Structures are given as structure tokens and as C-alpha cells.
């Protein structure tokens, strides 16, 4: 990097550090709050139009399943939408609304409610053509962090991927590859960039099917 590039970077570093500090401060306030699940259910009425009453999202992947996701993961996602670290116009509008989520307590309440919802329900899966290939990719490149069965890790704020809609997972992978998920670590992008289209289909299809009983859909 040349001198000019370093100078430009130096101008942005304080802002980046401030944003990271603000995000951590916001999250700490949410984590310190005791969730009021009944109030969270009331707040969730603002989310039903997109996520559905059961928090199951849409099987085509345009809206993710959030039901049963870990509290800290949900809280951080809301805060990242609020701070411009995760991009979606719909969610940014909700997260930044002073009428819907004005306080850290409100974020804690809705995250507490959503995390209590059952993670069962309809899910969008792929064609099944590349599932075995996707399983092998997951085992070698993802399981060490996300768990052998895509269960994630609540303590480390690693999200549960098992049962998520394949279409949504694929969109998140390509957003990461195209640098549209600024909050994701560089190690995520490094693992995802080499994947072929078929490998992305296989990986997301495999994850969407974990714990799925077709007869129940």
C-alpha cells in the first residue's frame, strides 16, 4: 500500500473503531437486560409480515428462518442492521426505528421471544443433486466452528445453520463473496470464494435438510 493509501486508511480507522465500540456497547446493554418475552411477542407483530407468525421465514429463501436462533446471535444481527454492518432495507428500517425498537430492552425482548420459538416447520431445500458433495465440504471447512450438525455455538455467538432455507444460505454466501456482509470475518470469505456454483448448491442443500423429515412438510 502506498503513502496515499495509508493516509486514506488512517482517516477511516477512528470511525471504524468507533463503530465497533458502539456495536459492542449496544450488545452489552442488550445482554445485560432481562428479556420480557410477552413484550417481545407484541414487538414481533412488526416482524410477522415478512418472517411469519412462527418465525419460519419463506421457503424460497427471501426471508430467513429466525425461530429458535440463539438469543445473542439474534441480538447482534439486529444491532448490526442498526449500525450498517448487515444490509437489508427491510431489516434496517425495523432495527433503526425509534418507534419499534427504541431501547436495548426492546431488542432483548424480541430476541428472547424469537429464540423461544420452535425451529421446526417448513423449510426450503434444494434438488438433492449435490447433497453428498455439500456434506463433504461442510465437514472439512465449516463443522469446526458451526458444529458437526450445523447446531452452532450459543456461547461463541456462532449461528445455528441447520434447517435454514437453502436459498437464503446461498444468498448469504454470495453476499459474503461480494463483500456485502462487512461484519463477516475475512476467514469466512476466504473459505467461500473458491466454491463452485454446484458446491454452493450442495452445501446449502445439505444444511437445509439437517433434521428434516420430508413427510412432515
Backbone dihedral angles phi then psi of residue 153, each to the nearest 5 degrees: -150, 110
Shared domain check, 196 and 107: no
Residue 124 lies in a domain: no
pLDDT band at 125 (very low <50, low <70, confident <90, very high): very high
What pLDDT is recorded for position 195?
Answer: 97
Q: Percent of the chain scored above 90 by pLDDT? A: 66
Query: In total, how many domains does the chain have?
Result: 2
Say how many Å lie between the first and final Cα of the chain, rounded.
Answer: 54
Shared domain check, 145 and 107: no
Domain that holds residue 104: 18-116
What pLDDT is recorded for position 211?
Answer: 86
Residue 4 lies in a domain: no
The set of cell numbers assigned to 100 is 419499534
Whole-model pTM: value is 0.84
pLDDT digits (tens, 9 = 90+) for 72-96: 999 999 988 888 878 777 887 777 7
Shared domain check, 105 and 181: no
Rounded average pLDDT over 89-117: 88
Shared domain check, 112 and 138: no
Shared domain check, 49 and 93: yes
Check whether 66 has a pLDDT greater than 90. Answer: yes
Shared domain check, 180 and 156: yes
Residue 49 lies in a domain: yes
Check whether 4 has a pLDDT greater than 80. Answer: no
169-178 long-range Cβ contacts below 8 angstroms, 24+ apart = 169/61, 169/203, 169/204, 169/207, 169/208, 170/61, 170/200, 170/201, 170/204, 171/61, 173/200, 173/203, 173/204, 174/200, 175/87
CATH number at residue 144: 1.10.760.10
Shared domain check, 70 and 29: yes
Shared domain check, 155 and 198: yes
pLDDT digits (tens, 9 = 90+) for 168-201: 999 999 999 998 888 888 888 999 999 999 999 9
Amino acid at each position: 500500500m502506498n503513502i496515499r493509501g495509508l493516509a486514506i486508511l488512517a482517516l477511516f480507522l477512528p470511525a471504524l473503531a468507533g463503530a465497533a465500540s458502539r456495536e459492542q456497547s449496544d450488545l452489552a446493554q442488550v445482554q445485560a437486560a432481562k428479556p420480557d418475552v410477552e413484550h417481545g411477542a407484541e414487538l414481533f407483530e412488526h416482524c410477522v409480515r415478512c418472517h411469519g407468525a412462527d418465525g419460519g421465514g419463506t421457503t424460497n429463501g427471501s426471508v430467513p428462518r429466525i425461530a429458535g436462533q440463539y438469543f445473542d446471535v439474534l441480538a447482534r444481527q439486529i444491532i448490526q442492521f442498526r449500525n450498517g454492518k448487515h444490509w437489508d432495507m427491510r431489516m434496517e428500517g425495523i432495527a433503526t426505528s425509534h418507534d419499534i425498537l427504541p431501547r436495548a430492552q426492546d431488542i432483548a425482548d424480541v430476541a428472547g421471544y424469537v429464540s423461544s420459538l420452535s425451529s421446526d416447520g417448513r423449510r426450503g431445500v434444494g434438488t438433492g443433486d449435490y447433497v453428498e458433495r455439500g456434506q463433504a465440504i461442510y465437514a472439512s471447512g465449516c463443522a469446526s466452528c458451526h458444529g458437526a450438525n450445523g447446531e452452532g455455538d450459543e456461547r461463541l455467538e456462532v449461528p445455528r445453520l441447520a434447517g435454514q432455507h437453502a436459498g437464503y444460505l446461498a444468498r448469504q454466501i454470495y453476499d459474503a463473496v461480494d463483500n456485502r456482509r462487512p461484519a463477516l470475518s475475512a476467514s469466512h470469505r476466504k473459505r467461500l470464494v473458491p466454491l463452485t456454483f454446484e458446491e454452493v448448491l450442495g452445501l446449502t442443500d445439505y444444511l437445509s435438510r439437517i433434521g428434516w423429515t420430508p413427510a412432515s412438510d
